[in-house]
């Protein structure tokens, strides 16, 4: 009985560790516009992430000039901290394979030569 309880507790502890999201640092380009909230990581620019709603996303969008129309979009060079979702279907029409939950903006600035 004692061994069974010990095994169950160990299995629960290992399961909790495996399912806990890992906070990472991401460097890349955040793009925002009409139905666009995308992060292109510098390490894998061909595999963008959909950006989940958060206070940090609002802070990134606040860097956009006030005179932009929604369709113009904006590119922001950013270093952010957050968690990456499991593979799935995210964003409009499930077009993105991963979703980025940004918890903290480390640095961000408008890309030179932007719209």
Find the domain containing 62 and state its range.
21-110
Number of compact structural domains in the chain? 1
The phi and psi torsions of 59 (rounded to 5 degrees) equal -65, -40
Residue 12 in domain: no
Residue 40 in domain: yes
Residue 7 in domain: no
Report pLDDT for 61. Answer: 87
Is the model's pLDDT at 57 over the cut of 60? Answer: yes
Is the model's pLDDT at 83 over the cut of 70? Answer: yes
Residue 1 in domain: no
- pTM of the full predicted structure? 0.75
Report pLDDT for 113. Answer: 54
Residue 14 in domain: no
Tokens 């408008």, residue located: 110
Could you tell me the CATH number of the domain that includes residue 46?
Answer: 2.40.50
Is the model's pLDDT at 6 over the cut of 60? Answer: no
């Amino acid at each position: 009985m004692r061994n069974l309880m010990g095994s169950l507790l160990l299995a629960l502890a290992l399961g909790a560790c495996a399912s806990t999201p890992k906070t990472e640092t991401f460097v890349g380009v955040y793009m925002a516009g009409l139905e666009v909230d995308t992060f292109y990581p510098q390490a894998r620019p061909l595999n963008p992430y959909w950006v989940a709603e958060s206070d940090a996303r609002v802070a990134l969008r606040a860097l956009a000039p006030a005179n932009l129309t929604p369709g113009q979009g904006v590119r922001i060079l950013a270093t952010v901290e957050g968690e990456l979702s499991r593979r799935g279907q995210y964003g409009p029409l499930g077009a993105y394979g991963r979703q980025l939950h940004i918890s903290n903006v480390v640095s961000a600035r408008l890309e030179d030569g932007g719209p």
